[in-house]
Amino acid sequence: MPTITVVGSINMDLVVRAGRFPAAGETLLGDTFATIAGGKGANQAVAAQRLGGRVAMVGCVGDDAFGVSMRDGLSDEGIDVSRVDVRAGQPSGVALITVDGTGENTIIVVPGANGTLSGEDVEAAREILASSRVLLLQLEVPLEAVQRAARIAADAGAAVILNAAPAASLPDTLIGLAEYVVVNESEIFALAGDAADRQGAVRTLHDRGARNVVLTLGAAGAILFAADGAVTTEVAFAVDVVDTTAAGDAFVGAFAVALAEGLTAAEALRRGNAAGALAVTREGAQPSLPRREDVDAWLATQR
């Protein structure tokens, strides 16, 4: 049985690289185009599998060429895809990604089959969810499915990690089911509402039931705010950025594997930072995700 289950999106990324982002109404000639498997759920599943987790994926793809390719790709990674359903008559999800000359990106996601993932689909995966040590969730699939999965896993004693991305308004019941809520700086303010500063946003999430808030800050590292007031900070690693796509997913995947293996929160943050740093040095979403030996070797040089 898996140590980590991911309930989430499976997309094909259509990636254009250009020297800069176009202005509104502007037509700009790009440099390159690539079709790369992605989706926050699938990315985190691949990241966790490559970093040593035994991973199962719960999600949906369309009955098109993208769907076949993505499901097969997850299986080839060693991920259990028995609960990745092929939706007849539905297109697979896609993400339109533009990467500029500095490695920054803009992303538009069209859910496709991901938008059909239901509570019933999650119930069908109950045995897998209940046997996992860690459940990874994001917000690129319907909230009903996310909430049902969180309840099943939490009731079974699994650690629920909610990566609250893309930013959305969430019910307190879901926040309270998550042992770790992982957000970046824009997402934490979207989730916390009218908080005036970072500390206020963290307090708001704790008041709403969050036990641990993990704030990812890119080149500034990551901070864990525990409900008891403890704060754990891990600095980032300096690297030359090529493409920031999936850096957050690499972090979350590494963080989940570390927790599943019983490492401390500080060690989990450090491994997450290392995985994210390695990911931004390579192009693409899943192609950029590092393997366990990569992270171990990198950390050995950073001591």
The residues carrying an active-site annotation are: 249
The alpha-helical segments, DSSP class H, found in 80-193 are 119-124, 126-131, 143-155, 172-177, 185-192
The answer to whether 211 and 226 have CB atoms below 8 angstroms apart is yes
DSSP symbol at 170: -
The answer to whether 130 and 156 have CB atoms below 8 angstroms apart is yes
The answer to whether 9 and 285 have CB atoms below 8 angstroms apart is no
The answer to whether 295 and 275 have CB atoms below 8 angstroms apart is yes
Token pair of 236 as six digits: 């980032």
* Contacting residues for 94 by C-beta, under 8 A, at least 6 apart: 11, 12, 13, 14, 66, 109, 110, 112
Token pair of 271 as six digits: 């491994």
